[in-house]
Amino acid sequence: MRADKPAVIYLLRHGHSTANAKSVLAGRDFSVRLSSVGEKQAKAVATELSDRKFAKIYSSPLPRCVQTLEPLAAELKKEIQLSDGLIEMEYGDWSGKKLALLSRNKLWTTIQNRPSLVRFPNGESFLEMQSRSLEAVTNLSIPGKSILLCSHGDVIKAIVAGFLGLNLDNFQSLSIDPASLTVLDLTRDGARLRLMNDTSYLKELKFTGSGGGKLNLGGGGGAARE
């Protein structure tokens, strides 16, 4: 990023998933796919971004992210490259559990108010997740070019907070809905937020947001109203 022209980073959250529909914390479960709503959202994303010029398209290795990008990649005739740095947080023992059940755990309050202190049982810490995702974005960015990265709610929130200089303990105040788009300009002088959690292109779909967002983990996945 040692150049005058900014690297333009498009951060796309994967579409609504089968785990979102069940209000389950999916984590790194490779069996989780897009729901029927998520598949429609992926097509809407392709329509919205089909006129953009991306130097590269990158995805978390998890299928729900790759699936979200597939319609657009086909339209643009671009290869989807996988980046381990964009993968979902390792929630450890919390993975696959209902959010409503997890919210009763004593650790939940700390997750909401002091996430910088949290390491999930047999999992990753928020600080580790933020560090590896920021490193990934920095390494993948290309001055003067636009790249598209598809990742996960908490990961995108941590990326935005990190580049904007927000304390990680405040990152839960951010919201990243399924199939939403966030855009950052990165330069040698810092970062500028151009767009945050945009879902305007999903307005024709029955389900466009996080379904309330009270259980703020995983970006605010919520249950679908299908």
Residue corresponding to tokens 């935005």: 160
Query: Are the beta carbons of 147 and 56 closer than 8 angstroms?
Result: yes
DSSP E strand stretches across the chain: 7-13, 56-59, 80-82, 146-151, 181-187, 190-198
Answer yes or no: is 210 within a domain.
no
Tell me how far apart the alpha carbons of residues 29 and 94 are, in angstroms, rounded to a whole number. Answer: 12
Predicted local confidence at residue 205, as pLDDT: 81
In this structure, how many other beta carbons lie within 10 angstroms of the beta carbon of residue 138? 16
Query: Is the model's pTM score more than 0.85?
Result: yes
Q: Which domain holds residue 25?
A: 7-202
3-state DSSP assignment of residue 189: coil
Answer yes or no: is 208 within a domain.
no
Answer yes or no: is 189 within a domain.
yes
Domain tally, the chain:
1
For residue 24, what are its two tokens? 């389950």
Query: Are the beta carbons of 210 and 177 closer than 8 angstroms?
Result: yes
Answer yes or no: is 187 within a domain.
yes
Predicted local confidence at residue 218, as pLDDT: 61
Answer yes or no: is 143 within a domain.
yes
Answer yes or no: is 52 within a domain.
yes
Predicted local confidence at residue 224, as pLDDT: 35
Predicted local confidence at residue 206, as pLDDT: 62
Walk along the chain (226 residues) in steps of 10 and give the mean pLDDT of each run.
80 97 96 97 98 98 98 98 98 96 95 96 98 98 98 98 97 96 95 97 70 51 34
Predicted local confidence at residue 38, as pLDDT: 97
For residue 151, the domain's CATH number is 3.40.50.1240
Answer yes or no: is 129 within a domain.
yes
Predicted local confidence at residue 219, as pLDDT: 55
Q: Find how far residue 226's CA is from the centre of its chain.
A: 22
